[in-house]
Structure 1
Amino acid sequence: MRQRDGAGAGLRDDTGSYGAPRRRARRSTVSLLLWGVCLAAAYACGSNLFLAPSRVTSRAASLRGSAVVGNPAVGALSSRGRTRSWDESSVQYLLGAAAVAVTLLSVTLSLSRHKSKRASTEGGGSAVARGSLASWWNSMMFDPNRGDAARHQIGKTAFDALSDSSVRAIHRAQEESINLAFVPLEGLLIGLASERSGGASKLLREAVVQVAELKHLSPLQPADLVSWGAVERVPLDDEVVEVVRNSVDTAEGPITTEALLEGVVARMLARPAFVDKGLKDKLQSVLQRLEEWKNDDTEKMPAGGFVPGTSGGSVLESCGRNLTALAREGKLLKCVGRDAEIGRMVQVLSRMTKNNPVLLGEPGVGKTAVAEGLAQLISNGEVPAHLADVAIWDVSIGSLLAGTKYRGEFEERLKKLVKEATEAHGKIILLIDELHTIVGAGATGDGAIDAANILKPALSRGELRVIGATTQSEYDKYIAKDPALERRFQPVVVPEPTQDQAVEMLMGVAGLYEEHHFVGFTDDAIKACVKLSSRYIPSRRLPDSALDAMDEAAARKRIQQGARPSSRVEVTANDVAQTVAQWTGIPLEELTKDESARLLNMEGRLDARVIGQKRATSAVARAIRRARVGVRGVGNKRPTACFLFCGPTGVGKTELSKALSDEYFGAEGRNMIRLDMSEFMERHSVSKLIGSPPGYVGYDSNSGGVLTDRVRRQPHSLVLIDEVEKAHPDVLNILLQVMDDGRLTDSHGRLADFSNVILVMTSNVGSSIEDLKRHFRPEFINRIDEVIPFASLTEEDIVRVVGLYVSRLQAALREQYNIDLKVTDGLTMALGKEGYSAEFGARHLNRVMQARVEDPIAELVLREKIHRGEEMVADYDGERDMIVFRNGNDDILTEMKCSDQTSAGD
């Protein structure tokens, strides 16, 4: 049975002590055992201490006698014997003295503990009162829970199930009990009340339960103190351990402070001798509130804890982050070059009503950074007096919505958030990034209100100050449609910084990236981040694109240096260029000698592939060199080159475009965008290029046109507009903007940049200006960089084209069947003569090669007259006008007339 010691005392056992008698009995038993060991050691060492000198003296005398006889070896032995005996006696003396001291200390401790127990029993004092020496001895020798006592007693698995707030509450309880024998149940209650980040503290404050009031429950007086030396070594009372373990056993998730509070309060109220009626009523109200939450169908509590915002815990702490506190800790990036925007925001926040600024700007211009810059000024005390002690909380609408499965749950959580902010009397400012998400957030239909309507009253009265951030398009789409909501916010435009401002911003934050990556940035590297990202990544905004270039260039350089670089490596402008080139595919890094030689010799390689068009290959090679070296004028946004290839069919216009793509971009067809204008002959086909307009089928798919989407994904490419004369005039009007400004906007308002595109158009119309004017308007012709006429192929050119066909056929047979095909010069000349056509060009040669060479070889493979690894010779018999195929043994495989497609062989 428990009893009260006095008005201010807590509850105690019948033995007069508060806590666990079993622990005390166990320690007493261990103490007696150790005392006995000490006595035995003292006896053994003490006997050696008093008896050893006589043996040493006797042995030394005998050795001295032997030395007198004249034996030098024995004399030396006696010297060593005296030294060893003296050392052994010294050690025995010290051990004996230590044993006596330990024995006296054990006797003193036992007497002290016996005296304390008798005083507590007879005089009403605490049974755990000990001297500082006794407590130190017990903590070192008799406490089985040295180190982290809570983790040891509760168990690692159960301790890991505790939430962060619960762990901090237990540590606070240990701090309160640092001078006590253990952490009582009341100590844990004090820890829960002191840990203000948990919901238990909020519940106790709402019930007007003060920490000072709880401290009066402690059964230990200031005179009954011990010293544990470390907070983690203070053990928990058995009741506390049982409460924690019961909470863990009945839960499936993290154990919150509310779950611990329920167990503590229930156990305390179960004590029959609890006479403090005022406190008892308060704790009963707390327990009743906990039970209501558990049983309420609209506020279900998950196993082990409560839904954030419905359990009495702070909604701000569970769904937001304190930017002002983060700024004081130096965890926010420095905001540079936004003094005007921050000043305007401070001006709006200083208004009496409608004091809610909304930051409007494109994605990546730094809207959130402006709000963080204000938090940094507040933390540094560089704001007006009425904002000096204000905290800016970044609240996530997604976090507020998370876990709200039942109707009304989100509204309740948001109302608590507004209540917390308004009760701070202007000391809390909410930052809502992506402000447009409050429109419709939490609405489930059937007349349910959304977050915007919940915030409107507090915003209009000036009780709640909110900083919003969104894009201009989202603001017009969602906020501006609701005039009642729009008039409560004051727009603060955040424009994209200039390149000079962006360089200044990157200079301000470069140190953080240098520390993270263990690198150093040169000034040219920082300027390159801004210049290259602005020029070659126009779809993104400064400073976000430049910061990404800086971050990835440093990461790339760090990886190249290995796992553990000995010193900081330097990030140069070329490193940044290589990073941006990796993103876009545009060759921006410095020219190498091999690449320079390849560019200078480009005409020769193009001539070898496109026969008979030296003027065209020379013009194309000049444009490629101009683009790669980068000698275009500053601010020139036009495409790299705009060519119109004119000439009859089959002369190599499309083939030159393919050769140019392969030569410049390095992979066949990888960076070539080909559009056949025979598919764009109708007026409505314009939507294929830029996407369907609003209200038409395909607009809701959020995809643009075949041209704008592909150029956005491949900004460094060759766009081939084949047979442009077949396109509808409206399609040509779209191309006017591309050739003039180097940009095209799709139906969703997204910009496609053509400034790094080579635009090639082919046409079968005549190459004279008069012929072009009959098909194209003057403004279209005037925007073309160069009109390149293609001459008709001669018979000699066709013979060279036959050599190209044969080379490709030989490579295909060697790769697929390992057959070595040889074609004689006589057959090459005969095929060139047969395939020449002044009207159809090289396209007629394609049909001749298929009929005279490809078809017979296919039949020989199928009839198994030629096998893998064999050699085959194709020859021309001029006397008979026959094409003859022989194997390596000169056996005839098949024959056919050069001017007849029927086979002459079996």
Structure 2
Amino acid sequence: MLLVRGREYLAQYPNFTLVGREHDLERISSILIRKSSNSLLLTGPAGVGVSMLTLGLQAIKNSPDTPFDLIVKKLFWLNCDALFSSGDSAKINNEFQSILKKLMQTPESVLIITDTANFLEGAHNTGNAHFINALNNADKSNNFQVILEVRDDKLSSVLKASTKMPELYTLYDVKEPVGDDLKNIVSVVAKDLSDHHKIQINEGAIDEAIHLTSKYRDSLGLGGAQPQRAISLLDRALASYRQLTHKQHPKIVELMDKIAKSNNETERQDLQQQLEQWQKDWHELKSEINKTYQYQRDAETLRFQLQDEITQLQEEEDNNNNSQPTTVKTFAQFTAGGFDSPSVAKLKEKIRQIDAEIAQNNERHKKLVMLANKDLRLDRQEVITEFSKVSGIPANRLDENEVENLINLETNLLSRIFGQDSIVKHVANSVKVAKVDALHESGPAMSYLFLGPSGVGKTEMAKALAQYVYGDEKSLVRFDMSEYMEKHAVAKLIGAPPGYEGFEAGGILTNSVRAKPVGIYLFDEIEKAHPDVFNIFLQILSDGRLTDNVGRTVDFSDIMIIMTSNIGQPYYLDPNLSNEAACELATNELNNTYRSELLNRFNGRENILHFKRLPMEVIEQIIRREIDKLNQAYQPRGFTVEISDSCISAFCHDHYDLIRGARGLPGYIKTNIRPFIVNHILQNPNDKGVFQAVYNQQTRSFDMTFCKI
């Protein structure tokens, strides 16, 4: 069947319920009843639920509250696999023209293509590339409507297929659900997962799955978008938990743990008796379950054998019937007319008995499994454990208390950012406000402009925030604004206008935020960008929204934006100026360079921060931290690096350069000290000992020695 009616298509999804998408359904419905551009191009990332929305359109037609404007719409799903299965170009073309004709003759009909990219590819491969134009021409006649579903990573190929797409179709970008909507969707699907695995799911497990898959968006193997990521994580966690607990019941593990920890002999004996009874009962239950498995396999094997015997007997009887004279009416002719021979009837009766026994065995098996699972509950810890396997992030880090992390944020930042204590405090407070404050304001979650000399911690601050707020430095997305110096740079960020090359691809910035709508975005050296780019920044910093070239709106409300600028560098590097004087002169230059409306967007300029020059004691502290990192890396292998404070001080005085900032000194360690360590380990892999570094002021380098333990 090439066209599947809505009722028949919905019947393929028994007990279908669409929750958390009421707003989307209302918007889509309003587009369908418009006069112009009333066909839809539904797009969204994989896993967001685009196909479920169109299914929901059919489902709500059964609701008494649905407006009759929508009820009269007749939905049809195109079976692309059946359409292109023959590979015969002429036949396929005739069938497609027949489909269009039927739709045009059916009032208020809506054609739904669930995978438009696949439809276009199939049409092209069978020599029917004109299908999209034929579809659009028929659609343009207003005799029927079309809903094209396409994943956002395939959107460019669909837009490229016909220049009429923007004219005929309204692009509707399906966003990831959030908050209560996301919780409702995952909770409904969790019931189906629980029925499949026959294990209850605690609400805490659902909350944790949503939390982890929202916070760590880049984790592999969990689908593209919410709610699919959270659902996939729950399914994986249930499968792992099921395997683990069916090997050894959690109660047995708990009793064994209590016995190991108990110091009371009487208590230990009592626990041991409980353990033995549990082990006995669990072994017997598993044995009974295995028996039902074995019976099922044996019964099905016997049933197949009996069915084969029936087929063989019927073939023999047919052959005998064909060999008899036509004037003689044999028993085989009676059996061919609908009567079974005694042998076949006997075998069929055996099959009926086996089927009844299989049904009884299945019921017994279900009851035994329910008994085995009655005390099992998937909790948040099992979800954390499974996510750790998928992401590679240690489970103890995933289980960190987010509130506690926010409380300790300033302390954690100070462990990485030296000499900028007031800035660290300011930024930490802003993050806490963005994460906890109930007052919702327009704009991104947080926006900062960092000024100051090179190598004093501006970029390091962005990396540290990504680490301590989002748990991973990969949450930091960096844009080097020196790549956006030309006037057409705006098109690179939000996409080229219609008719220009690259229109279908969208913009680098908007695509990035669509793919990663939570995290930190660093715009480095903004003074190098073309002035037109700042018109985009004005919109982002003010409204927290940006519309790309194809009409999709991206949301920056969960994005923390950090911009850096080299404006005022000569003042910061002038040793004759105090930090206060340098900041004042840099501020004057900043005011002369950028419009007030842009600078005012940084929280009324409160979030324009000046990083100070680092005093020598801070530079020495940074080098000590680098040495500590080396020791953390090599101590597990039996090696330690020792450098005296006096050597560090002499090294910093000789090598510190204001222009390079703190970056130059760690680079020296990487180039000179670490190669000595690595070469020694390669030549003496079994050694353990201490690497001593003594600074030689004459050669302005470290003399390295190794003391074997």
Pick closer, same or farther for the CA change 1:737–1:557 going to 2, 3 Å.
same
Paired residue for 1:296? none
- The 3-state SS of whatever aligns with 2:621 is helix
Pick closer, same or farther for the CA change 1:825–1:420 going to 2, 3 Å.
closer
Paired residue for 1:798? 619
Paired residue for 1:873? 692
> Aligned partners of 1:664 and 1:865: how far apart in 2?
38
Is 1:655 matched with 2:460?
yes
Q: State which drifts further: 411-420 or 834-843.
A: 411-420
Is 1:827 matched with 2:630?
no
> Aligned partners of 2:496 and 2:434: how far apart in 1?
33
Paired residue for 1:774? 592
- The 3-state SS of whatever aligns with 1:821 is strand
> Aligned partners of 2:487 and 2:387: how far apart in 1?
39
Pick closer, same or farther for the CA change 1:509–1:358 going to 2, 3 Å.
farther
1:743 maps to amino acid: R
Q: Give the counterpart of 2:478 among 674, 693, 703.
A: 674
- The 3-state SS of whatever aligns with 1:728 is coil
Paired residue for 2:507? 704
Query: Comparing both structures, which one devotes a greater share of its residues to helix?
Result: 2
Cα pair 1:338 1:370 within 8 Å, conserved? no
> Aligned partners of 1:747 and 1:703: how far apart in 2?
6
> Aligned partners of 1:865 and 1:586: how far apart in 2?
30
* Correspondence list, 1:843-858, <5 A: 845=665, 849=668, 855=672
Cα pair 1:393 1:428 within 8 Å, conserved? no
Paired residue for 1:622? 429
- The 3-state SS of whatever aligns with 1:645 is strand
> Aligned partners of 2:644 and 2:178: how far apart in 1?
67
What are the superposed Cα offsets for residues 592-615 of structure 1, whole Å, 9 maximum, x if unpaired?
665544443333333233221111
Cα pair 2:139 2:145 within 8 Å, conserved? no
> Aligned partners of 1:845 and 1:615: how far apart in 2?
24
> Aligned partners of 2:434 and 2:469: how far apart in 1?
11
> Aligned partners of 1:622 and 1:867: how far apart in 2?
50
2:597 maps to amino acid: E
Is 1:753 matched with 2:571?
no
> Aligned partners of 1:776 and 1:594: how far apart in 2?
41
RMSD: 6.4
* Correspondence list, 1:6-405, <5 A: 316=1, 319-321=2-4, 323-324=6-7, 331=14, 333-334=16-17, 364=50, 368-370=54-56, 372-373=58-59, 394-405=77-88
Pick closer, same or farther for the CA change 1:620–1:577 going to 2, 3 Å.
farther
Cα pair 1:648 1:790 within 8 Å, conserved? yes
- The 3-state SS of whatever aligns with 1:606 is helix
Q: Give the counterpart of 2:416 among 609, 622, 627.
A: 609
- The 3-state SS of whatever aligns with 1:617 is helix
Paired residue for 1:713? 515
Is 1:740 matched with 2:542?
yes
What are the superposed Cα offsets for residues 333-365 of structure 1, whole Å, 9 maximum, x if unpaired?
2568989999x99xx99xxxx9xx967866638
Shift of 1:445: 12
Cα pair 1:440 1:452 within 8 Å, conserved? no
> Aligned partners of 1:625 and 1:395: how far apart in 2?
50
TM-score, with normalisation over the residues of structure 2? Answer: 0.55
Paired residue for 1:243? none
* Correspondence list, 1:513-524, <5 A: 515-516=195-196, 518=198
Cα pair 1:400 1:413 within 8 Å, conserved? yes
> Aligned partners of 1:531 and 1:762: how far apart in 2?
31
Q: Give the counterpart of 2:493 among 672, 684, 689.
A: 689
2:613 maps to amino acid: S
Is 1:469 matched with 2:151?
no
Shift of 1:810: 5.5
> Aligned partners of 1:339 and 1:825: how far apart in 2?
64
> Aligned partners of 1:872 and 1:340: how far apart in 2?
64
> Aligned partners of 1:756 and 1:458: how far apart in 2?
39
2:85 maps to amino acid: A
What are the superposed Cα offsets for residues 776-800 of structure 1, whole Å, 9 maximum, x if unpaired?
2111111114122222222322332
What are the superposed Cα offsets for residues 297-335 of structure 1, whole Å, 9 maximum, x if unpaired?
xxxxxxxxxxxxxxxxxxx3xx34455457679836256
What are the superposed Cα offsets for residues 489-512 of structure 1, whole Å, 9 maximum, x if unpaired?
9x9x99999999999999998866
> Aligned partners of 2:493 and 2:238: how far apart in 1?
42
What are the superposed Cα offsets for residues 852-887 of structure 1, whole Å, 9 maximum, x if unpaired?
x95488689889999663544333578x89877363
Is 1:783 matched with 2:601?
yes
Structure 2 segments unaligned to the other structure (5+ residues): 45-49, 218-223, 244-368, 569-581
TM-score, with normalisation over the residues of structure 1? Answer: 0.45
Structure 1 segments unaligned to the other structure (5+ residues): 1-315, 538-543, 891-906
Paired residue for 2:285? none
> Aligned partners of 2:487 and 2:173: how far apart in 1?
40
Cα pair 1:645 1:761 within 8 Å, conserved? yes
Pick closer, same or farther for the CA change 1:632–1:642 going to 2, 3 Å.
farther
Paired residue for 2:373? 566
Paired residue for 2:364? none
Cα pair 1:418 1:455 within 8 Å, conserved? no
- The 3-state SS of whatever aligns with 2:478 is strand
Q: State which drifts further: 605-614 or 773-782.
A: 605-614
> Aligned partners of 2:121 and 2:705: how far apart in 1?
80
1:804 maps to amino acid: R
Shift of 1:828: 1.8
Shift of 1:405: 1.9
* Correspondence list, 1:634-653, <5 A: 634=440, 636=441, 638-653=443-458
Q: Give the number of the structure with larger relative contact order, counting CA–CA contacts within 8 Å between residues 6 or more apart.
A: 2
> Aligned partners of 1:399 and 1:625: how far apart in 2?
55
Is 1:555 matched with 2:235?
yes
> Aligned partners of 1:844 and 1:660: how far apart in 2?
23
Cα pair 1:584 1:715 within 8 Å, conserved? no
What are the superposed Cα offsets for residues 739-792 of structure 1, whole Å, 9 maximum, x if unpaired?
222233333444443322222222232534434212221111111141222222
Pick closer, same or farther for the CA change 1:579–1:683 going to 2, 3 Å.
farther
Q: Which has the greater radius of gyration? A: 1
Pick closer, same or farther for the CA change 1:821–1:615 going to 2, 3 Å.
same
> Aligned partners of 2:397 and 2:465: how far apart in 1?
21
Shift of 1:440: 12
What are the superposed Cα offsets for residues 181-200 of structure 1, whole Å, 9 maximum, x if unpaired?
xxxxxxxxxxxxxxxxxxxx
What is the number of residues matched between the two proteins? 531
1:727 maps to amino acid: A
1:672 maps to amino acid: L
Paired residue for 1:631? 437
Cα pair 2:3 2:78 within 8 Å, conserved? yes
The percentage of counterpart residues that share the same residue type is 25
Cα pair 2:444 2:556 within 8 Å, conserved? yes
Shift of 1:532: 11
What are the superposed Cα offsets for residues 704-730 of structure 1, whole Å, 9 maximum, x if unpaired?
31x333333333322222222232222
